Chain A
Amino acid sequence: MATLLEELFAKATRNSHPIFAMFELTYQCNFSCRHCYNPIARKNQPRTGEAPASTRRPLDFSEIMGLLDQLKDMGVLYLSLTGGEPLVHPRFWDILAAAKERQFAVRVFTNGALITPSVADRLDEIGPHCLEISIHGANDATAEALSQVKGSHQNMLKALGYLKERKLRVYLKCTVTKLNEGELEGIKAISDSFGFPVFFDPVITLSDDGEEYPLEMKASDEGVAKLYRSDGINIGNSPFEWEPGELSCTVGAGTLHITPHGDVQPCIQWKQPVGNIREKPLKEIWSTSPVLEEARRVAREMPMLIRKGTKDHAFCRHCPGLSLLRYGDPRRLEEQYLRVARIKAEVSRNEAIDK
């Protein structure tokens, strides 16, 4: 049964009141993850074409403050600061403090590697709502094979310790890949040892510019099946993933996304820019964009699209942004979601037979 809060959020979403916003502070990152969707070229990523070279100027601090004011005026409650790695932004601390002053519940998405005791102290002092930290494996070799940075796993583990000591709220997030699919229990054990929940996501997204190389890291069918056969495992990309009534996606209605250059997008996955905050007020973009209107239509159609798109519809989700990026059609169900639905259906049938 939906809680009072879920009902309220669902009502807000129906009325296109954005509750969640994601702000990519920078595309710069200290990791080079093999499965990353970030459009900046990383080492050892088998691109087929050149990475897009951006000569555009990122938002400066005063523009960012203006953005925060606009998001507050629009009623956004949860603000995610992400990247790239947000901690490498030269004004990260000022931005975090300013967001907190504006009463956002701030979520910081980080790989954790830059969190030292003094960084943890500053986080504790400012008090974001939570940190959401990527975990790539249960051991150094796997995590470093994915991050392509020596010491990444150990630094992340140290960070978890510093954050736990300060009683900060942490959620771990693991993209299930072919490299770590055999270590799900180990990853869960790490999260349990710190008392932080972990969320496993079996879907990998394309590169922001449409390159498919991240999909080379896809987990096997057996790896995904194992995820769904395990007890007590959280599946999804965060604890904030929620399904408002009949909708299974809040794109264009309950959530919005801003890039480091001020482009506004329907969400992190639906990459079509609908305007830029340097050119128009955010509220005007939000209320007049035909692309956002189309995104809302697709979200409303989603239950029907899923029912028509697969016999495993009871187990299927849909990400119109990923479909748009991959096929140019936000209504077409994406192959990974269909695969996950098929596997979930098989696991469910087998479990029913076993009982």
Chain B
Amino acid sequence: MFDPKLYRRNPDVSWRLIEGQAVLVHNREGEIEVLNEVGSYLWEHAGEPLDGLSGNISQEFDVSREQALRDAEEFYQALVASGALQPFNEK
């Protein structure tokens, strides 16, 4: 189970919402990620309880709440793997 309270956006990742999509620039690695609409929503609300986020996604995108929760967890795990999110105790 992914606990959003334990993670934060990596301060070395610059980002902006551009035309509704989050563009993430990994300053150290030089890589750029462009998130889709749902991913951008989750990125903007990183750190917030997954229950609420998945509920909103479920309403907005015609997907079950359970599925939305699983997808959100998977998405956040991928962001941890890419370094865009990091545990609070890391520099």
Interface residues of A (CB under 8 A from B): 4-5, 8-9, 11-12, 15, 17, 19, 75-78, 100-101, 103-106, 127-130, 167, 169
Contacts and interface: CB of A to CB of B under 8 A. Distances in A.
B27 interface: yes
A173 to B, nearest CB: 17
A268 to B, nearest CB: 21
A17 B17 CA distance: 11
Given A103-B13, A104-B14, 20 more contacts: A5-B32, A8-B21, A8-B23, A15-B19, A17-B18, A17-B19, A19-B16, A75-B16, A75-B18, A77-B16, A77-B18, A77-B25, A100-B14, A103-B14, A127-B27, A127-B28, A129-B27, A129-B30, A130-B30, A169-B30
21 contacts: A4-B34, A5-B32, A8-B18, A8-B21, A12-B19, A15-B19, A17-B19, A19-B16, A19-B18, A75-B16, A75-B17, A76-B16, A77-B15, A77-B23, A100-B14, A103-B14, A103-B15, A105-B14, A105-B27, A127-B12, A130-B30
Q: Give the secondary structure class of B's interface.
A: strand
B11 interface: yes
A12 B19 CA distance: 6
B9 to A, nearest CB: 8
A100 B11 contact: yes
A8 B34 CA distance: 9
Nearest to B30: A169
Nearest to B15: A103
Contacts of B11: 100-101
A281 B12 CA distance: 29
